[in-house]
Amino acid sequence: TMEPALRVALEAVHASPMRAVVHVTGGAAQSLGWVMAVPGASRTLLDARVPYARESMVDTLGAEPKQYVSAQTARDLARTAYTRGVRLSPGVHHDDHRHVVGVGCTCALASVPPKKGDHRCFVATYGVLGSATYELNMEKGLRDRWEEDGLASRLVVQALADAAAEAETRERERRGETFGKDGVNGANGDGAGNAIPWEGVLSANDAMTTTRAPTRSPDDPISWVTSGSCDVAAFSTETGELTSLHAIPPRTVILPGSFNPAHEGHRQMLAAAAALRPGHALAFELAVTNADKGTLEPAEVRRRADSFFSPNGAGTASFGSETLELPTPSLLLTRAPLFSQKAALFPGATFVVGHDTAIRLLMPKYYGGEVEMLRAFEDIRNLGCSFVVAGRAATSDEGGKTFLTLADVDVPERIRDVFEALPGFRNDVSSTEIRERGEG
């Protein structure tokens, strides 16, 4: 039977808003059974993997780790688990992913023949609140394999409980709630993690340490992206809150732009495209790097981002005489100025572009020739991505007014299925005009 304290801790985990993907290797096998044995596991566990063989570890991490049992490998497993969790987490609101946590665990336990090195376990968690690393060194010869696996599994539950308590605290703070004297889910003020006792479980020669990265400030993710230490950061346009890192759901309609500044035309264009992809998440994407202009300064990125973090950035977009109730869009900050890079970051995405951008995208000179251009778009297609093209007003050579659409773009037959026209949308406001009027 399961130890009562572990059951209480896992009940608190399942009652929290946290959703988790767990990757364990080398041990801690009992932890997955414990998590699933307590009712409510479907509210918490998105996925679990045991990348035990070398080939499985390489497939999970994308490369062979320098050391299989180390704090860094546990952190790499946690980050990979987190990325998978964001992509698996249901819901079209990017806000749904702010409580996703990745858990990674790697162990070296008692075996046959006996190991020469230490018996130890590393567990790490990763999410938008930060990361934590747990290390447990066990006295050799004191326990058999099953008992050591039980200790490693206990450490995984500890990590889950701590992450769940943080998620519960964050959610209550967002709702403006205060904590009673019993804290989260009936635990004391530090949350669910304190429901797991360690006294009497560890010997005098066992050693356990925990290292937590400080909670990140709202400005940090912008610097992470501009410095290159993070490839994607997603924010809610309703609250300005960081909602995910490194990944977004695959079914997302994305409007890329420089947003200098963002304006109602951008919101209306995204809303019109959303009508073509019902049930998809929505996002604006600002690439902080440019092949010609270099990397934007963090202060400039913040200035442009601030034009989204307002009531106008919420998911109700009006155009014509209609109003569409839509999911709250995210703002994505990336280091991907090229659409080939965007497609690699966001497989399965639909990119919304204007007529002029579509013209430039289909110029072979940017690819080194037409063959290379076609190959690039076929790669984008293979990643499940496509383009929706909005029209724009133009003045003819004779001075007359006209409206240019996808029909006026020369799209090669081989890649015609990658492009789709955005019907019934027209908004002639531009960021350049707004800046010239001194409004942005």
Query: Tens digit of pLDDT for each residue in 284-298?
Result: 999 999 877 789 998
Please state the rounded mean pLDDT for residues 315-319: 38
The residue written with tokens 């209609």 in the block is: 322
Indicate the number of domains in the chain: 2
What CATH number is given to the structural domain containing 151?
A: 3.90.950.20
- Same domain? 148 vs 229: no
Which residue from 130, 325, 118 is spatially nearest to 230, judged by alpha carbons? 130
- Same domain? 194 vs 258: no
Return contacts of 312-317, CB within 8 angstroms, 24+ apart.
Answer: 312/264, 312/267, 313/237, 313/238, 313/262, 313/267, 314/237, 314/238, 315/238, 315/282, 317/267, 317/268, 317/270, 317/271
User: Does the bond joining 261 to the residue before it have cis omega, within 30 degrees of 0?
Assistant: yes
- Same domain? 201 vs 242: no
What is the predicted pLDDT for the residue at 321? 35
- Same domain? 51 vs 196: yes
The last residue of one of the domains, among 212, 237, 267, is 212
State the DSSP code for 39: T
- Same domain? 72 vs 109: yes
- Same domain? 237 vs 119: no
- Same domain? 145 vs 46: yes
The last residue of one of the domains, among 212, 230, 251, is 212
- Same domain? 195 vs 234: no
Domain residues for 70? 4-212
The last residue of one of the domains, among 176, 195, 212, is 212
- Same domain? 206 vs 226: no
pLDDT in tens, 350-365: 999 999 999 999 999 9
Split at pLDDT 50, 70, 90, the class of 325 is: low
- Same domain? 382 vs 255: yes
Name the pTM for this structure: 0.77
- Same domain? 252 vs 172: no
- Same domain? 406 vs 262: yes
Q: Are 420 and 388 in contact (CB under 8 A)?
A: yes
